[in-house]
């Protein structure tokens, strides 16, 4: 009987070597992408020269010549195009961050509610999810905007709420604004110190509970520090700042009556409609993600926790949710990215985000390529930063193998 040898029968051909083919295919792909990019850039430059369109970003220093209804930073007609991009970027981040925060809270509440043993609560949560997630977001934005315009008082009138802290009319919700003065930096430093102390206490309390089994009210202690320490420093330093209240003008020419611009702080109907729609729409998907994460936890974990005498609320908080987070976080990241990108629909109701601002700049300057590249770079950067943070948080929440 002939013995079977483990030695290779012969030298493998150069072209059939997997490593060579892998390297060669990657080199060819890089060459193809480089050639394609060169052709695109070369053709674009040639077409722009043929049409006498100037290229470059020098146009950003040109006077904008338009205004915005709501900005968090100073912007007027005499500001530059670059300042317009900054204002639009701040508006995009503003509505995205608040929307992500509110949608996360709403989604977690509704996701847990869908699994409630209370029939009414479970059905209300189900109706919310099934109805709103199947209505296009753009339509929801427009509907909310029309509702706000119809229920709010007219521009020459207003209504007060919350003991006069809120003033409302068709121009939006007006609230007092705090204006800091010299010395307020000490309060800001105290706030950062309080956050650091709260973080340290949370870590210490967690380690203490692992070692002794005794819980510590880290949340309430941290909350007291974050609120109390800056407030104490603010009072000790002589309250450096003033409260700027909204001013409603009732006399003078009729076209000047209404809330005075620059006094107080305004949440415009465009911002509120966009925020409501983004929060409610994204909250439906987060609710389903949370429900799936909770259902992924073995029922034996719930039974074991119940056998130890834990109540349903504590079982959910200390046993189920921590284990479900490893399933929840990855798809949750996608919803955060979707909310940020969906905020570009704001231009349908006139909220000046980065897309709306960029559209005006594009129409006025004619620098289509540069403007589109800047908008793409903004959304790419925001998406990468969000993904990086969520990946870090996901790694932190992952179960540690023993």
Residue 231 inside a domain? The answer is no
Q: How far apart are CA 14 and CA 18, in angstroms?
A: 9
pLDDT for 360-372, tens place per residue? 998 888 888 889 9
- pLDDT average, residue stretch 315-329: 85
Structure tokens that stand for 396 in this block: 């932190």
Structure tokens that stand for 134 in this block: 């199947």
Would you state the pLDDT for residue 402?
A: 47
Residue 68 inside a domain? The answer is no
- pTM, two decimal places: 0.82
Average pLDDT, the chain: 85
Residue 118 inside a domain? The answer is yes
Residue 375 inside a domain? The answer is yes
Q: Are 176 and 257 in contact (CB under 8 A)?
A: no
Q: What is the dihedral of CA 324, 329, 330, 334, to 10 degrees?
A: 130
pLDDT > 70 fraction of the chain, expressed in percent and rounded:
91
Question: With bands split at pLDDT 50, 70 and 90, how would you rate the model's confidence at 145?
Answer: very high
Q: How far apart are CA 321 and CA 111, in angstroms?
A: 11
Would you state the pLDDT for residue 99?
A: 96
Q: What secondary structure does DSSP assign to 223-277, as a single string?
A: HHHHHHHHHHHHHHTT--EEEE---EE-SS-GGG-EEPTTSSEEE-HHHHHHHHH
pLDDT for 216-269, tens place per residue? 888 889 889 999 999 999 899 888 888 887 877 777 666 567 777 767 788 889
Q: How many residues does the chain have?
A: 402
Range of the structural domain that residue 319 is part of: 81-151+267-397
Residue 47 inside a domain? The answer is no
Residue 289 inside a domain? The answer is yes
Q: How far apart are CA 216 and CA 211, in angstroms?
A: 12
Residue 73 inside a domain? The answer is no
Would you state the pLDDT for residue 137?
A: 94
For residue 334, give the CATH number of its domain: 1.10.3720.10
Residue 364 inside a domain? The answer is yes
Give how far Cα 127 sits from Cα of 103, 113, 277, 341, Å: 17, 11, 16, 26
Q: How many domains does the chain have?
A: 1
Residue 47's contacts (CB-CB under 8 Å, 6 or more residues apart) are: none
């Amino acid at each position: 009987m002939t013995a079977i040898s483990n030695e290779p029968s012969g030298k493998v051909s150069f072209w059939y070597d997997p490593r060579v083919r892998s390297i060669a295919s990657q080199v060819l792909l890089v060459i193809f992408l480089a050639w394609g990019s060169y052709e695109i850039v070369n053709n674009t430059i040639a077409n722009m020269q043929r049409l006498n369109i100037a290229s470059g970003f020098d146009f950003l220093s040109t006077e904008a010549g338009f205004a915005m209804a709501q900005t968090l930073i100073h912007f007027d007609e005499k500001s530059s195009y670059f300042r317009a991009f900054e204002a639009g970027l701040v508006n995009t981040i503003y509505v995205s961050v608040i929307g992500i925060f509110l949608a996360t809270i709403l989604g977690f509440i509704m996701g847990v509610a869908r699994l409630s043993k209370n029939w009414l609560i479970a059905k209300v949560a189900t109706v919310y999810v099934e109805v709103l997630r199947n209505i296009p977001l753009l339509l929801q934005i427009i509907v909310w905007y029309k509702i706000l315009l119809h229920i709010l008082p007219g521009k020459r009138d207003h209504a007060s709420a919350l003991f006069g802290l809120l003033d409302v009319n068709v121009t939006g919700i007006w609230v007092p604004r705090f204006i800091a003065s010299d010395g307020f930096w000490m309060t800001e430093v105290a706030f950062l110190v309080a956050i650091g102390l709260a973080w340290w206490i949370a870590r210490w309390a967690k380690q203490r509970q692992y070692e002794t089994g005794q819980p510590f009210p880290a949340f309430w202690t941290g909350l007291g520090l974050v609120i109390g320490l800056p407030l104490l420093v603010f009072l000790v330093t002589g309250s450096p700042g003033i409260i700027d209240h909204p001013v409603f003008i009732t006399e003078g020419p009729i076209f000047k009556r209404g809330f005075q611009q620059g006094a107080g702080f305004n949440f415009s109907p465009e911002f509120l409609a966009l925020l409501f729609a983004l929060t409610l729409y994204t909250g439906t998907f987060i609710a389903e993600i949370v429900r799936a994460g909770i259902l992924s936890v073995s029922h034996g974990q719930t039974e074991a926790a119940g056998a130890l005498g834990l109540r349903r609320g504590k079982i959910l908080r200390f046993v189920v949710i921590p284990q479900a987070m490893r399933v929840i976080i990855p798809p949750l990241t996608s919803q955060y990215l979707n909310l940020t990108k969906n905020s570009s629909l704001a231009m349908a109701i006139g909220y000046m985000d980065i897309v709306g601002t960029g559209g005006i700049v594009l129409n006025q300057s004619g620098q289509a390529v540069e403007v589109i590249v800047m908008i793409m770079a903004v959304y790419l950067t925001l998406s990468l930063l969000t993904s990086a943070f969520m990946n870090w948080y996901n790694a932190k929440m992952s179960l540690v193998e023993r």
